[in-house]
A = this chain, B = another copy of it.
Amino acid sequence: MDFSLTPKLEELRDRTRSFIRDQVIPFEKDLRQNEHGPGEDLRKELMELARKAGLLTPHASVEMGGLGLSHIEKAIVFEEAGYSSLGPTAMNIHAPDEGNIHLLEEIASPEQKERWLRPLVAGKIRSCFAMTEPAPGAGSDPSMLMTTAIKDGEDYLINGQKWFITGADGADFVIIMARGEDGSATMFLSDMNAPGIELVRNMDAMDSCFVGGHGVLQFTNLHVSSKQILGELGKGFKNAQVRLAPARLTHCMRWLGQAQRAQDIAIAYVKKREAFGKILGEHEGVGFMLADNDMDLQTSRLNIWHTAWLLDQGERCNFESSRAKVICSEAEWRVVDRCVQMLGGQGVTGETVLMKIFKDMRGFRIYDGPSEVHRWSMARKMIANKELK
């Protein structure tokens, strides 16, 4: 067992840290952000800085233009990137592009890669992943999928509605999960400007950290050819697994950075602000919150590292990524909530970035599977006596 980092990874971590603190954080008050997320030109400007720092799309393969980071390397780098809510946008490792890049690397055809993956890695285009549907469609239970892809000659016609589609507004292409006549699911790639795709509206979300926000998409007789099938026909859910476990984990990493940021803000505050004759941090009640935060941060970090290492060993980690997702999303949330409490009134106002972190993070206990679904999925595997690590 060895918790040390290679000198190369230490250098990359330190470089990312400096980049975020010196070049990204100063943009946090930039007005090119709205209630949905950072604007496109802010994104472009930040990505240009990342490119110069050699930090753009680091998780993509070297062949496609990235640094080819392993999961453990991502764990270290993405936490640093997450220290600013603009960091993942700057480095092109934000959701859903980060997960889509991983998915396309694994299962896209060479033609699909050239057309969609290469410019995505280069930060020239954006993408979205259209899975979730309004009731009675697919929510936390993917088997309730209602969007259809019906054979039409050699091609397919897609009809249905999707919502909570992160980054839909402004995306250049979309990955669509749809159901065939035989009931099986398939993923399709489509340019967003294809006839038959409509962005109905952008949802009014509590978070504002994802470029493009969360959109509602309507597909009306969207024409897709068989070349637009991502992976295999009828293997949509199986192929999507490739994306699932790693994407859960990268959320944990980025949000860990945000939680650490919250803790640093709180520590700075309680070391200065006085009440009842001493600085807040010298009050046991406050000190206990600092300690609990440290425990929650460390617990999140260790679970991320361990699961990332297992992924690097080639494990599927369905169980372990569920576990890490629940642990991190709940522990990181507790950290941020305690920080709000320590800052008092300043925690619930825009005097620091803490309020934004609080509002941005709440959804993490819900998306990529709410805690309840993961707990239940874990339990079923435990009852079924599967060997777990």
A379 within 8 A of B: yes
The listed residue with most B CB atoms (<10 A of its CB), out of A267, A349, A371, is: A349
A388 within 8 A of B: yes
A366 within 8 A of B: yes
Which residues 305-326 of A have a CB within 8 angstroms of B?
305-306, 309-310, 323, 326
Chain B residues with CB under 8 Å of A279's CB are: 383
Interface contact B370-A344, CB-CB below 8 Å: yes
In this complex, what residue of B is CB-closest to A305?
Answer: B1
Known: A309-B3, A349-B204. A378 touches B290 (CB 8 A): yes
Interface contact B345-A284, CB-CB below 8 Å: no
Q: How far is the CA of A4 from the CA of B310 in the complex (A)?
A: 10
Segment of A79-87, A192-200, A295-303 engaged in the interface with chain B: A295-303
Q: How far is the CA of A132 from the CA of B3 in the complex (A)?
A: 36
Interface contact B345-A367, CB-CB below 8 Å: yes
Interface of chain A, main secondary structure: helix
Segment of A48-56, A88-96, A98-106, A354-362 engaged in the interface with chain B: A354-362
Interface contact A291-B350, CB-CB below 8 Å: no
Contact of A341 among B282, B355, B366 (CB under 8 A): B366
A273 within 8 A of B: yes
Chain B residues with CB under 8 Å of A290's CB are: 378-379, 382-383
Chain A interfacial residues counted at CB < 8 A: 85
Contact of A282 among B3, B274, B323, B383 (CB under 8 A): B383
Known: A206-B355, A358-B206, A366-B348. A287 touches B323 (CB 8 A): no
In this complex, what residue of B is CB-closest to A375?
Answer: B291
Interface contact A348-B305, CB-CB below 8 Å: no
Apart from A1-B5, A291-B323, A299-B327, 6 more pairs, CB < 8 Å? A139-B345, A203-B350, A284-B372, A285-B376, A348-B362, A348-B366
Contacts from A to B (Cβ < 8 Å) = 1-5, 72, 132, 135-136, 139-141, 143-144, 163-164, 203-207, 214, 267, 270-276, 279, 281-288, 290-292, 294-295, 298-299, 302-303, 305-306, 309-310, 323, 326-327, 340-341, 344-345, 347-351, 355, 358-359, 362-363, 365-367, 370-372, 374-376, 378-380, 382-383, 385, 388
When A and B form their complex, which 10 residue pairs have the shortest distance between CB atoms, in order from nearest?
Answer: A287-B379, A204-B350, A284-B284, A302-B302, A141-B275, A291-B375, A291-B378, A281-B383, A2-B2, A348-B363
Q: List 16 A-B contacts (CB under 8 A).
A: A1-B4, A139-B273, A203-B350, A204-B355, A206-B355, A206-B359, A283-B284, A285-B288, A285-B372, A288-B288, A288-B379, A290-B379, A294-B388, A298-B303, A299-B302, A341-B372
